[in-house]
């Protein structure tokens, strides 16, 4: 959990255009009673991850806030003793430096014909994912967790983030979207909706170890970014990304149709931006 939070915070900053050499972190621990050996062990593991990954990424912690012993001890309506504890939670915030704010990178796709790349590897790491939670709630009324949780390879991701930043500095990146909760399906959809442009992508060339289309779409593997670039920058971009995991997966369309082709090349998703946007906004109706 801690490693994923740190990697995501750093990746989000770099994706927006922040210099990897000028990123700092802040932590916010919201924990339950550390008098219990299991909870203390979890806290120790999370703190160790904060140390290990901040050192590897070169991103110091400059501040934070800890809220410990978030437990309620009392009685239920029948007078029986009851204890309610918050789940151990760690929020990581990042702050970075962008030399020229006018060159910050947004998530919206820009031009029809632009190439769509996925940086990083997608593996079968759906444990604790939004996808498993949804499936569990629909089938059993309770979130599934799973076993294969995302692992963070900080050294590999750090190299990718520096290359991405070099491409951003070179004016090559048209749009960039960090892949996190919801996986590739959500990241691709958000970029398309933000630009109100259709997109067609294929999972055939997706890098990593994933056997199923749904796992490929909703895995929450760390270290991934969706970017779009102008076709004229293809060679320059791939030269910069050499040595990192990346794959050209599709293009921005001239219309508003959103298509995803599966690992066997057959179409598995077809929608349009207006429908997607209405469904996306429907969550907030009444607020």
Amino acid 129: pLDDT:
95
Amino acid 34: pLDDT:
86
* Per-block mean pLDDT, blocks of 10 residues, the chain (287 long): 97 98 97 91 96 97 93 94 94 96 95 98 96 94 93 97 97 97 97 97 96 96 98 98 98 98 96 95 85
Q: Looking at the structure, do residues 267 and 138 belong to the same domain, yes or no?
A: yes
Amino acid 287: pLDDT:
78
Which residue in this structure is represented by tokens 């749904």?
A: 214
Q: Looking at the structure, do residues 67 and 178 belong to the same domain, yes or no?
A: no
Amino acid 111: pLDDT:
97
CATH number at residue 34: 3.30.1330.10
Q: Among 104, 124, 154, give the residue marking a domain's end.
A: 104
In sequence order, what are the residues at sequence separation of 6 or more whose Cβ sits closer than 8 angstroms to the Cβ of residue 102? none
Q: Looking at the structure, do residues 99 and 117 belong to the same domain, yes or no?
A: no
Q: Looking at the structure, do residues 198 and 244 belong to the same domain, yes or no?
A: yes
Q: Among 71, 104, 137, give the residue marking a domain's end.
A: 104
Q: Among 104, 134, 158, give the residue marking a domain's end.
A: 104
Q: CA 278 to CA 107: how far, in whole Å?
A: 19
Whether the full predicted model's pTM is greater than 0.85, yes or no, is yes
Q: Looking at the structure, do residues 195 and 267 belong to the same domain, yes or no?
A: yes
Amino acid 82: pLDDT:
95
Domain that holds residue 64: 1-104
* Number of structural domains found in the chain: 2
Amino acid 246: pLDDT:
98
Amino acid 113: pLDDT:
98
């Amino acid at each position: 959990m801690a490693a994923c939070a740190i990697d995501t915070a750093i990746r989000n900053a770099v994706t927006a255009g922040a210099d990897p050499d000028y990123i700092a972190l802040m932590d916010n621990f919201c924990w339950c009673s550390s008098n219990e050996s299991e909870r203390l062990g979890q806290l120790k593991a999370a703190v160790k991850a904060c140390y290990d990954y901040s050192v590897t990424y070169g991103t110091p912690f400059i501040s934070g806030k800890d809220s410990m012993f978030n437990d309620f001890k009392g009685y239920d309506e029948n007078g029986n003793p009851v204890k309610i504890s918050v789940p151990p939670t760690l929020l990581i915030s990042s702050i970075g430096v962008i030399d020229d704010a006018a060159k910050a990178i947004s998530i919206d796709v820009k031009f029809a014909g632009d190439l769509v790349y996925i940086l990083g590897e997608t593996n079968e790491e759906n444990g604790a994912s939004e996808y498993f939670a949804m499936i569990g709630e629909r089938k059993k009324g309770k979130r599934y967790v799973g076993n294969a949780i995302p692992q963070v390879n900080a050294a590999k991701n750090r190299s990718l983030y520096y290359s991405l930043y070099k491409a951003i500095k070179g004016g090559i990146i048209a749009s960039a979207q960090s892949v996190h909760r919801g996986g590739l399906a959500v990241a691709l959809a958000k970029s398309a909706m933000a630009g109100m442009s259709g997109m067609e992508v294929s999972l055939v060339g997706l890098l990593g170890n994933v056997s199923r289309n749904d796992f490929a779409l909703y895995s929450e593997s760390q270290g991934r970014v969706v970017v779009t670039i102008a076709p004229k920058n293809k060679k320059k971009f791939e030269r910069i990304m050499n040595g990192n995991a990346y794959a050209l997966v599709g293009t921005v369309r001239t219309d508003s149709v959103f298509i995803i082709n599966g690992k066997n090349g057959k179409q598995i998703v077809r929608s349009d931006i207006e429908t997607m946007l209405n469904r996306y906004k429907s969550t907030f109706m009444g607020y």
